[in-house]
Structure 1
Amino acid sequence: MKVNSFVRLRVSLVSLITVAAAAAGVAATTLAPIAAAEPELTASARIELQGAVNVRDLGGYRTYDGERTKSGKMIRADALGKLTDADVAKLGTLKLQSVIDLRTQAEVEGLGADRLPPGVPLVARPIDDTGMFAKMFQAISSKDPAKQHELLGDGKAEQIMGDVYRSFFTPDSLSKFGQTVKDLAATNTATLFHCTAGKDRTGWLSYVVLRAIGVPESTAKQDYLLSNQYRAASDAALREQLKQGGYMENPDLLIPLQEVRNEYLDIALQTMEQKYGSFGKFLTNGLGLDPMTIAKLRKNLVS
């Protein structure tokens, strides 16, 4: 597919999704807060917006030594290109130091640049998605059930996701993840980071930072998995609209691409262990963090 055609397809599908969500009554503001799976997660606050569904403040998580992560310091999100004026005003109350966009240029062109409060710096730090979205939209645009099954069925979608998580350890991705952690260590004001769905690149980065500052691994993993709950309604609405619009006969083929799963996180963790041997060595040798930076990170993000 040519780039311009690909971008136009993205735009048309985004418009479809927006109309679909409105028609189905699943705008983010109508979604009830999701109860956390364990007490450790109850303090993490979802930020309710109309134009993004997976936005949350990572404050309130308890660390091994009984402290808690600070609120108003580290915010994870999905894409911010569809925010309403009210959403932008709400973000303005968070006193953001910067917004770090981990999306590729193709994703930005197809889904829209971030809408941010005046004066908030945007840092473009694209991390490769290994063509996941290109493959997804190629399948959708074909409108061919056999082609879609060929591209996504029989475990192919899961393979695509596995490739995404393995790619977190390329030199370019490591450099950009590492720089984002350094940015979080260098300021004690609020930083927001996001990708497209706020679940894979953003989810891995959140998991790494939470563990680096002393949050138990089990809690960091539960935070990663919460994206499934926060995204469930909008993802289901997309699948229904693709079916009703004649794009996909079996839109459930998209579910492995829409979800986060323990299996995906395990791929990243196994790759990390193979390359570095331990989480600590991954922080130092993989992400390039020295002990002083890790200490500053904890000081900035933990009460």
Structure 2
Amino acid sequence: MGIVTFVTSDGFIFSSAPNFRDIGGHRTASGRTVRSGLIFRSDALHSVADEELVAYNGLGIRQIVDFRTPHERGRLPDVTPEGAEYAAVAVQGSKAAGANFADLLADPEQARAVFGGGGAERFMFAVYEELVTDAVALRGYRELIERAAEGPTALVFHCSAGKDRTGWGAALILRLLGVEHEHVVADYLVSNERQAATEMWMRRLAVGSGLDWADLVPMTRVRAEYLDTALARVDEVYGSFDGYVAEGLGVSGRTVERLRERLLN
């Protein structure tokens, strides 16, 4: 099937899934270019509107990798494109820092204890450190890389907002492809332009939490410092990014080679 790309008048591929975007187009340090139309990143795909289904199916997606927790998936199941394989791939255990914040917000006493007084920012740093070291995350991100390298394309991977779990996954792939750090960070920060729906949802969750909205803003956006925290943890635990890939994730050199063969012009 040929791949057809649609762009809405607001600059998004899908207005109903605003953080759905292609990771292609980036230049690498060696002067190569990441191919477009093969790997997409997104927010949750339950919201794809009926009027955008033709465009959605026209992308030729053959794999969906869903990073959400079982509770998230069960509450809002994805709209799966025609002919696509759906894979639920965990990158957080049920007790991980980022897996239960909705429940925490529902309890005013716990919400104030965890998120008040700068707690939301500390919470986010903890999430990113766990994405680097947690055993569930290591297995999940290895599977993402292997699927991107060896499985059918096009592939889309996503979480709920498409900014943290998905943001780290996109950063991994782009770094493996040789995209320079400043461009990896720039791609990561694009999510901030696409969080209107997430903010509305978070505001609803926050009602009755006893917190000011300003207390929760650090959880509604990505910051370069969050990504830097993950990368610093990579160096601290594994010695280098290559060590993280080989020893932490257990991704083979052949898989990395195949990823580059597939995704670089």
TM-score, normalised by the number of residues in structure 2: 0.87
Query: Does the C-alpha gap of structure 1 residues 240 and 107 become closer, same or farther in structure 2, counting only changes over 3 Å?
Result: closer
- Which residue of structure 2 aligns with residue 121 of structure 1? 85
- What is the CA–CA distance in structure 2 between the aligned matches of 1:285 and 1:164, rounded to whole Å? 21
Which of residues 196, 219, 223 is equivalent to 2:160? 196
Which of residues 225, 245, 254 is equivalent to 1:263? 225
Which of residues 22, 41, 47 is equivalent to 1:76? 41
- What is the CA–CA distance in structure 2 between the aligned matches of 1:83 and 1:119, rounded to whole Å? 16
- What is the CA–CA distance in structure 1 between the aligned matches of 2:243 and 2:205, rounded to whole Å? 44
Which of residues 152, 163, 183 is equivalent to 1:219? 183
In terms of fraction of residues, the more helix-rich structure is 1
Residues 222-237 of structure 1: matches in 2 within 5 Å?
222-231=186-195, 233-237=196-200
- Which residue of structure 1 aligns with residue 53 of structure 2? 88
> Secondary structure at the residue paired with 2:227?
helix
- Asked if 1:155 corresponds to 2:118, the answer is yes
Report if the CA contact (8 A) 1:149-1:253 is conserved.
Answer: no
**What amino acid is the match of 2:101?**
K
- Which residue of structure 1 aligns with residue 14 of structure 2? 48
Which is higher, the Rg of structure 1 or of structure 2?
1
TM-score, normalised by the number of residues in structure 1: 0.77
Using the TM superposition, give the Cα deviation of residue 133 of structure 1 relative to its aligned residue in structure 2, in angstroms.
5.2
Percent sequence identity is 32
Report if the CA contact (8 A) 1:199-1:260 is conserved.
Answer: yes
Residues 1-303 of structure 1: matches in 2 within 5 Å?
32-33=10-11, 46-50=12-16, 52-110=17-75, 112-128=76-92, 130-132=96-98, 134-139=100-105, 141-142=106-107, 144=108, 148-168=111-131, 169-187=133-151, 189-231=153-195, 233-238=196-201, 250-303=212-265
**What amino acid is the match of 2:102?**
M
Report if the CA contact (8 A) 1:89-1:117 is conserved.
Answer: no
**What amino acid is the match of 2:27?**
R
Using the TM superposition, give the Cα deviation of residue 106 of structure 1 relative to its aligned residue in structure 2, in angstroms.
1.4
- Per-residue CA deviation, residues 201-250 of structure 1 (Å, 9 max, x unaligned), is 1100100110101111110111111111121x33444466668x767662
Using the TM superposition, give the Cα deviation of residue 271 of structure 1 relative to its aligned residue in structure 2, in angstroms.
1.1
Using the TM superposition, give the Cα deviation of residue 149 of structure 1 relative to its aligned residue in structure 2, in angstroms.
3.4
Report if the CA contact (8 A) 2:161-2:198 is conserved.
Answer: no
- What is the CA–CA distance in structure 2 between the aligned matches of 1:276 and 1:98, rounded to whole Å? 30
